[in-house]
Structure 1
Amino acid sequence: MSRKDFLRRTGGLLAASIVPMSLVEIACGGRGKGTHEKFTFAFISDPHLTHIKGTNFVRNFDSGLNKAIETVNLMFPRPDFVVFGGDLAQLGKREELDHGMELLSKLKVPVKFVIGEHDYYLDMGNYWQDKISKLNYSFDHKGVHFVVLNSILTYDTWIKRWKTPEERMNEMARLDNPNGSPFMVGDDQIAWLKKDLENIKNGTPLVVLSHSPLYKIYKPWNFWTDDAEKIQSVLSRFDNVTVFHGHVHQVLYNQIKNISFYALMSTAWPWPYPESYTQSPHYIPKMTVFMNRQDPFHERDGTGWAFVNMDNAREEMHYKLWENKDRIVKYDDSAGHPVDSTYQKPESRILPQTHY
């Protein structure tokens, strides 16, 4: 091995150990009847770039995204493409979106974009569509069919309630907001999805990319998609469906019938788990083992990166968490859903961090 190759390999491993992003490796398919060529794509999500004034942006959020980009560029071999999972901006400003695109332009592989609510509700996605990407689309890659959904739509009555775009954006940007409104995919997009999947065989491996989870977790924080069951119904005929989503900024995994769900961490900050807020019921998947409480004195704690191996369509999600034990969550045939390979049994778990 040449010195150059050695540095490329070891440099990529070193960066991957400290940087918040996700690496997804897909190998020969199999839970269903379809087969596909092995390939890798990276996943970066939720940097929430925040404009202060002039050319000044919040340093920590810039730092998280920059480190993820550096990691992807150091990988050898490089991934086939990068999926960006949404919330590039914090308040949907052109300055934030332009700044984010300038940073992402450093990537040396193509990027597939998913829009988040923080990118959308200032101008209802117009600038995003003009400068960045379509809001929903599909593509095929080496035998896998990918569908990108705009899952952060909401009701017209809520949209028309606010006097200014800024007021609407600020209301949607809040986490715990009684004035908020639940997300949805919407009937028009569901009709588009049905049309897109018309000629896709049941055995074809299907990956769905969304920002919000396509199942219901906790409505007061909008960890929620109102018409999630309709989407699940459309996907029900396929043998193998995997949904990757952002938005929740934490380790979550779930199984609903034929669909495996995996959430990704943010490059900016972690959200708490909804069970810490006891005023209303939550629907966190019972199978999910929580990641440990983050340390607010370490700005990168509670964020992280992951990579996914799909071998015979059995997902194996490797969560890399700073200052905590790494996690491996993989599909278990006997259980019929993803399980944590080390911490699934309560007696095997380590106590959460207690420093504040």
Structure 2
Amino acid sequence: MDHSSNDTESPEGRRGFLRCMAMAGAGTLWLMKGGVLQAHGLADGNAGTAVPDATFSFVQVSDSHIGFHKEPNMDVAGSFRDCLARATHQRSRPDFILHTGDLTHLSRPEEFDTVAQLVRDSGAPHTLYVPGEHDVIGDNGAEFFKRFGEKQADGGWYSFDHRGVHFVGLINVLNLKAGGLGFLGPDQLAWLKKDLASLSASTPLVVFAHMPLWNLYESWGWGTDDSAEAMTYMKRFGSVTVLNGHVHQVQQKVEGTVTFHTARSTAYPQPAPGVGPGPGPLKDIVAGSLKHYLGVREVRHVRGAQTLAIAEEALA
């Protein structure tokens, strides 16, 4: 669908786009091989057996925005609870959960308290976090990093290895650039270069941050100002998967061996890039259809191959 066309700017065109999003919300299993994604509907007969030899899986959740109390979702805590329940009851229990930012809406202590309580109550496996711009309001992320940060680097970024896959959590919501673009900064880029330098090019990479690490729609701040330099450190690897939040919808891009994915929010959807006057909660949703736009992502590592299988699952 051409999001820049006049048809999508009209009310009828926008409703058509929403219908397309709702249908897509039925779920898709993505197999990544050599930088090319192959799609299988979750309802397909072979979808459940597409990755029987997966060595492990993890789940991405994003943009829970605890503290938001407006249309189209007056109960973001409830929808986050539902997403956590979905995440922890996959076909096989995930090894961990990645939350890619905007845990809260206004960075208030009671909002962070609610996030922590909901995760504990869900029985979720170990959960790792990176902040969104809504998590660093007023204190440059001090409250977030105290509660949810990893202690590897002064700036809050970190990496870890899990069953042959190298994971990197980046921070791109501090010192935002003009127009609201994300920013990594020279210190983090130097750390990233050093972190990746000793790895074999055959090591699968999973990189996660809040704002997209590709310029999805610059005029809305949907990108990262200095992400191109980060990509120069990753392009030698045979399999790189980049997971982001921020835009509250599934968008994908492939550049060589790097595949970019943005995630649904657990709170509310946003318009497609360039559709309407700007980003923000998408309110003109057909009554009762909100759960078509909210969901989780399951990622599986497949034994013996540089392949990550990605399944999108909506709450509806």
Q: Deviations over 1:21-76 (max 9, x none)?
A: x99999xx9849xxx97111111111100167xxxxx7520111111222234346
Distance 2:159 2:218 in 1: 28
CA contact 2:242–2:261 (8 Å) conserved in 1: yes
Asked if 1:223 is matched to 2:216, the reply is no
CA contact 2:87–2:296 (8 Å) conserved in 1: no
CA contact 1:184–1:225 (8 Å) conserved in 2: yes
Partner of residue 39, structure 1:
56
Partner of residue 140, structure 2:
124
Alignment TM-score, normalising by the size of structure 2? 0.73
Residue 296 of structure 2 aligns with an amino acid whose one-letter code is: W
- Give the superposition deviation at 1:79: 1.0
The alpha-carbon distance between structure 1 residues 25 and 110, as it changes in their structure 2 partners (threshold 3 A), is farther
- The 5-angstrom pairing of residues 88-103 of structure 1 reads 88-103=103-118
- Give the superposition deviation at 1:310: 4.7
- Give the superposition deviation at 1:278: 7.4
- Secondary structure of 1:118's match? helix
2:97 to 82, 92, 112: 82
Partner of residue 211, structure 1:
210
- Secondary structure of 2:86's match? helix
- Give the superposition deviation at 1:202: 1.1
Q: Deviations over 1:196-227 (max 9, x none)?
A: 11211111111101111100011232111111
Asked if 1:62 is matched to 2:55, the reply is no
Distance 1:216 1:180 in 2: 12
* Number of aligned residue pairs: 258
- Give the superposition deviation at 1:243: 0.4
Alignment TM-score, normalising by the size of structure 1? 0.65
Q: Bigger radius of gyration, 1 or 2?
A: 1
- Give the superposition deviation at 1:316: 4.0
CA contact 2:102–2:134 (8 Å) conserved in 1: yes
CA contact 1:48–1:268 (8 Å) conserved in 2: yes
The alpha-carbon distance between structure 1 residues 320 and 124, as it changes in their structure 2 partners (threshold 3 A), is same
- Secondary structure of 1:274's match? coil
The alpha-carbon distance between structure 1 residues 67 and 126, as it changes in their structure 2 partners (threshold 3 A), is same
- The 5-angstrom pairing of residues 277-288 of structure 1 reads 277=276
- Give the superposition deviation at 1:308: 3.6
Partner of residue 270, structure 2:
271
Partner of residue 262, structure 1:
261
Unaligned regions of 5+ residues in structure 2, if any?
A: 1-24, 36-52, 151-155, 279-283
1:298 to 267, 281, 289: 289
Residue 70 of structure 1 aligns with an amino acid whose one-letter code is: A
- Secondary structure of 2:313's match? strand
Unaligned regions of 5+ residues in structure 1, if any?
A: 1-19, 53-57, 159-178, 280-292, 324-356
CA contact 1:253–1:260 (8 Å) conserved in 2: yes
Partner of residue 6, structure 1:
none
CA contact 1:213–1:247 (8 Å) conserved in 2: yes
- Give the superposition deviation at 1:272: 0.6
Single out whichever of 207-216 and 73-82 deviates more from structure 2: 73-82
CA contact 1:249–1:270 (8 Å) conserved in 2: yes
CA contact 1:186–1:227 (8 Å) conserved in 2: yes
The alpha-carbon distance between structure 1 residues 213 and 51, as it changes in their structure 2 partners (threshold 3 A), is closer
CA contact 2:61–2:297 (8 Å) conserved in 1: no
Asked if 1:114 is matched to 2:105, the reply is no
The list of structure 1 runs, each at least 4 consecutive aligned residues, that deviate by more than 6 angstroms after superposition, is 22-26
2:311 to 318, 342, 346: 318
CA contact 1:252–1:263 (8 Å) conserved in 2: yes
- Give the superposition deviation at 1:115: 1.1
- Give the superposition deviation at 1:114: 1.4
Asked if 1:148 is matched to 2:163, the reply is no
